[in-house]
Protein backbone atom coordinates (compact mmCIF):
# COMPACT_ATOMS: atom_id res chain seq x y z
CA UNK A 1 0.00 0.00 0.00
CA UNK A 2 1.58 3.27 -1.10
CA UNK A 3 1.62 6.57 0.77
CA UNK A 4 -0.68 9.40 -0.34
CA UNK A 5 0.71 11.53 -3.16
CA UNK A 6 2.58 14.71 -2.17
CA UNK A 7 1.96 18.06 -3.92
CA UNK A 8 5.35 17.69 -5.61
CA UNK A 9 4.52 14.21 -6.89
CA UNK A 10 1.14 15.35 -8.17
CA UNK A 11 2.66 18.35 -9.96
CA UNK A 12 5.44 16.22 -11.50
CA UNK A 13 2.93 13.70 -12.81
CA UNK A 14 0.85 16.44 -14.43
CA UNK A 15 3.92 18.21 -15.82
CA UNK A 16 5.06 14.97 -17.44
CA UNK A 17 1.91 15.02 -19.59
CA UNK A 18 2.57 18.60 -20.81
CA UNK A 19 4.36 19.65 -24.00
CA UNK A 20 7.64 21.58 -24.27
CA UNK A 21 5.83 24.85 -23.45
CA UNK A 22 4.27 23.31 -20.36
CA UNK A 23 0.81 23.11 -21.95
CA UNK A 24 -1.54 20.20 -21.37
CA UNK A 25 -3.59 19.02 -24.35
CA UNK A 26 -7.23 20.08 -24.38
CA UNK A 27 -9.32 17.06 -23.43
CA UNK A 28 -11.82 17.45 -26.26
CA UNK A 29 -13.58 14.25 -25.26
CA UNK A 30 -14.44 15.86 -21.91
CA UNK A 31 -16.14 19.25 -21.31
CA UNK A 32 -14.95 20.85 -24.61
CA UNK A 33 -16.77 18.07 -26.45
CA UNK A 34 -20.09 18.73 -24.73
CA UNK A 35 -22.82 20.45 -26.72
CA UNK A 36 -23.11 22.96 -23.86
CA UNK A 37 -19.43 24.02 -24.00
CA UNK A 38 -19.59 27.79 -24.65
CA UNK A 39 -16.40 28.24 -26.71
CA UNK A 40 -15.36 27.17 -30.18
CA UNK A 41 -12.46 24.72 -30.23
CA UNK A 42 -10.42 26.38 -32.99
CA UNK A 43 -7.44 28.04 -31.34
CA UNK A 44 -8.44 26.92 -27.84
CA UNK A 45 -5.48 25.98 -25.67
CA UNK A 46 -4.66 25.77 -21.99
CA UNK A 47 -2.26 28.15 -20.29
CA UNK A 48 1.18 26.70 -19.47
CA UNK A 49 1.37 24.81 -16.19
CA UNK A 50 2.80 27.02 -13.46
CA UNK A 51 5.27 25.80 -10.81
CA UNK A 52 4.07 24.89 -7.34
CA UNK A 53 3.65 27.79 -4.93
CA UNK A 54 5.65 27.64 -1.72
CA UNK A 55 2.41 27.46 0.27
CA UNK A 56 -1.30 28.08 0.06
CA UNK A 57 -1.99 31.85 0.25
CA UNK A 58 -3.83 33.18 3.30
CA UNK A 59 -7.51 33.90 2.87
CA UNK A 60 -9.63 36.75 4.19
CA UNK A 61 -10.70 35.82 7.71
CA UNK A 62 -8.14 33.05 8.13
CA UNK A 63 -7.68 34.45 11.63
CA UNK A 64 -11.17 34.57 13.09
CA UNK A 65 -10.57 37.94 14.77
CA UNK A 66 -9.97 39.49 11.33
CA UNK A 67 -13.26 38.27 9.85
CA UNK A 68 -15.94 40.97 9.41
CA UNK A 69 -18.39 38.59 11.11
CA UNK A 70 -16.75 39.40 14.45
CA UNK A 71 -18.06 42.96 14.17
CA UNK A 72 -21.62 41.81 14.71
CA UNK A 73 -24.45 41.17 12.25
CA UNK A 74 -23.72 42.89 8.93
CA UNK A 75 -25.98 45.74 7.82
CA UNK A 76 -28.74 45.06 5.32
CA UNK A 77 -27.13 47.28 2.67
CA UNK A 78 -30.02 49.75 2.90
CA UNK A 79 -32.46 46.87 2.55
CA UNK A 80 -31.46 46.16 -1.05
CA UNK A 81 -29.75 42.77 -0.90
CA UNK A 82 -30.70 40.89 2.26
CA UNK A 83 -33.00 38.09 1.12
CA UNK A 84 -33.59 36.15 4.34
CA UNK A 85 -32.23 35.54 7.82
CA UNK A 86 -32.83 33.42 10.87
CA UNK A 87 -30.87 33.39 14.11
CA UNK A 88 -27.82 31.67 12.58
CA UNK A 89 -27.93 32.01 8.78
CA UNK A 90 -28.27 34.71 6.17
CA UNK A 91 -28.98 34.71 2.43
CA UNK A 92 -27.82 37.68 0.37
CA UNK A 93 -28.47 38.70 -3.22
CA UNK A 94 -25.69 39.33 -5.75
CA UNK A 95 -26.44 42.53 -7.67
CA UNK A 96 -23.84 42.11 -10.46
CA UNK A 97 -25.01 39.03 -12.33
CA UNK A 98 -26.49 37.95 -15.63
CA UNK A 99 -28.51 35.16 -14.01
CA UNK A 100 -32.16 35.49 -12.85
CA UNK A 101 -30.97 35.02 -9.27
CA UNK A 102 -27.56 34.54 -7.67
CA UNK A 103 -27.38 34.17 -3.91
CA UNK A 104 -24.88 33.59 -1.15
CA UNK A 105 -25.65 31.55 1.98
CA UNK A 106 -23.42 31.92 5.03
CA UNK A 107 -23.58 31.54 8.81
CA UNK A 108 -23.40 34.58 11.07
CA UNK A 109 -20.73 32.93 13.23
CA UNK A 110 -17.23 32.45 11.86
CA UNK A 111 -16.85 28.89 10.58
CA UNK A 112 -15.49 27.21 7.49
CA UNK A 113 -16.97 24.01 6.06
CA UNK A 114 -14.38 21.59 7.55
CA UNK A 115 -14.84 23.10 11.03
CA UNK A 116 -18.61 23.61 11.02
CA UNK A 117 -20.18 22.35 14.28
CA UNK A 118 -22.51 19.40 13.93
CA UNK A 119 -25.65 21.30 14.83
CA UNK A 120 -24.93 23.99 12.25
CA UNK A 121 -24.00 21.34 9.69
CA UNK A 122 -27.35 19.62 10.16
CA UNK A 123 -29.18 22.92 9.90
CA UNK A 124 -27.14 23.89 6.84
CA UNK A 125 -28.43 20.85 4.99
CA UNK A 126 -32.01 21.86 5.72
CA UNK A 127 -31.38 25.45 4.63
CA UNK A 128 -29.72 24.36 1.37
CA UNK A 129 -32.61 22.04 0.55
CA UNK A 130 -35.16 24.78 1.22
CA UNK A 131 -33.08 27.29 -0.74
CA UNK A 132 -32.88 24.96 -3.74
CA UNK A 133 -36.65 24.59 -3.72
CA UNK A 134 -37.12 28.34 -3.36
CA UNK A 135 -34.80 29.25 -6.25
CA UNK A 136 -36.49 26.75 -8.56
CA UNK A 137 -39.81 28.51 -7.87
CA UNK A 138 -38.52 31.67 -9.57
CA UNK A 139 -40.39 31.65 -12.92
CA UNK A 140 -37.30 32.36 -15.05
CA UNK A 141 -35.17 29.66 -13.37
CA UNK A 142 -34.94 26.16 -14.80
CA UNK A 143 -32.56 24.54 -12.31
CA UNK A 144 -30.55 25.49 -9.26
CA UNK A 145 -26.78 25.03 -9.07
CA UNK A 146 -24.82 25.15 -5.79
CA UNK A 147 -21.08 25.78 -5.45
CA UNK A 148 -18.56 26.11 -2.63
CA UNK A 149 -15.03 27.35 -3.33
CA UNK A 150 -13.54 29.12 -0.32
CA UNK A 151 -10.18 29.99 -1.91
CA UNK A 152 -10.57 33.70 -1.21
CA UNK A 153 -12.41 33.80 2.11
CA UNK A 154 -12.24 31.56 5.18
CA UNK A 155 -15.81 32.33 6.25
CA UNK A 156 -18.12 29.62 4.88
CA UNK A 157 -20.11 30.85 1.89
CA UNK A 158 -22.21 28.86 -0.55
CA UNK A 159 -23.02 30.22 -4.01
CA UNK A 160 -26.55 29.40 -5.14
CA UNK A 161 -27.20 30.03 -8.83
CA UNK A 162 -30.46 30.02 -10.76
CA UNK A 163 -29.84 28.58 -14.24
CA UNK A 164 -32.13 30.38 -16.72
CA UNK A 165 -35.12 28.29 -17.74
CA UNK A 166 -35.16 26.61 -21.16
CA UNK A 167 -31.70 27.92 -22.13
CA UNK A 168 -30.19 24.49 -22.54
CA UNK A 169 -26.78 25.83 -23.60
CA UNK A 170 -26.41 27.07 -20.01
CA UNK A 171 -26.74 23.63 -18.41
CA UNK A 172 -24.05 22.20 -16.18
CA UNK A 173 -20.71 23.60 -15.09
CA UNK A 174 -20.28 25.96 -18.10
CA UNK A 175 -22.98 28.16 -16.54
CA UNK A 176 -20.41 30.36 -14.83
CA UNK A 177 -18.56 30.87 -18.12
CA UNK A 178 -21.78 32.00 -19.75
CA UNK A 179 -22.72 34.19 -16.77
CA UNK A 180 -19.62 36.34 -17.10
CA UNK A 181 -20.62 37.24 -20.66
CA UNK A 182 -24.35 37.83 -20.13
CA UNK A 183 -25.85 41.33 -19.84
CA UNK A 184 -26.41 42.35 -16.23
CA UNK A 185 -29.92 41.87 -14.85
CA UNK A 186 -31.46 45.11 -13.49
CA UNK A 187 -31.52 45.33 -9.71
CA UNK A 188 -35.30 45.66 -9.51
CA UNK A 189 -35.69 42.43 -11.49
CA UNK A 190 -33.23 40.61 -9.23
CA UNK A 191 -35.09 41.87 -6.16
CA UNK A 192 -38.46 40.76 -7.54
CA UNK A 193 -37.03 37.29 -8.21
CA UNK A 194 -35.42 37.17 -4.77
CA UNK A 195 -38.74 37.96 -3.10
CA UNK A 196 -40.04 34.64 -4.44
CA UNK A 197 -37.07 32.96 -2.74
CA UNK A 198 -37.62 34.83 0.54
CA UNK A 199 -41.30 33.92 0.68
CA UNK A 200 -40.57 30.23 0.12
CA UNK A 201 -37.83 30.22 2.76
CA UNK A 202 -40.20 31.69 5.33
CA UNK A 203 -42.72 28.97 4.49
CA UNK A 204 -40.11 26.22 4.89
CA UNK A 205 -37.94 27.57 7.70
CA UNK A 206 -39.54 30.60 9.30
CA UNK A 207 -37.05 33.41 9.73
CA UNK A 208 -37.32 36.94 8.42
CA UNK A 209 -37.52 38.03 4.78
CA UNK A 210 -35.40 40.95 3.68
CA UNK A 211 -36.84 44.23 2.43
CA UNK A 212 -35.28 43.87 -1.02
CA UNK A 213 -35.90 47.49 -1.90
CA UNK A 214 -39.55 47.50 -0.87
Query: What is the pLDDT, as a whole number, of residue 100?
Result: 95
Half-sphere exposure at residue 82, Cβ-oriented, CA atoms within 13 angstroms: 18
Percent of the chain at pLDDT > 70 equals 96
Domains and CATH numbers, the chain: 7-59+77-209 (3.30.428.10)
With a CB cutoff of 8 Å and minimum separation 6, the contacts of 159 are 102, 103, 104, 146, 147, 148, 149
Query: What is the pLDDT, as a whole number, of residue 62?
Result: 82
What ranges make up the beta strands (E) of the chain? 82-85, 89-93, 102-107, 141-147, 158-164, 208-209
User: Above 80 in pLDDT, residue 66?
Assistant: no
pLDDT digits over 19-60, tens only?
999 998 998 888 888 888 999 989 999 999 999 999 988 888
pLDDT digits over 73-111, tens only?
566 556 899 999 999 999 999 999 999 999 999 999 999
Amino acid sequence: MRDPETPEEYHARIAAAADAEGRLPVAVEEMPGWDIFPYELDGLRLKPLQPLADEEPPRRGEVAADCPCTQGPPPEDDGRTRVWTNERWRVDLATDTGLPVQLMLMPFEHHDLPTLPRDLAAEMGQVLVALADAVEHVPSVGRVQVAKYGDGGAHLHWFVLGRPARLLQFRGSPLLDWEENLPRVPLEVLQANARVVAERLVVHLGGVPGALGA
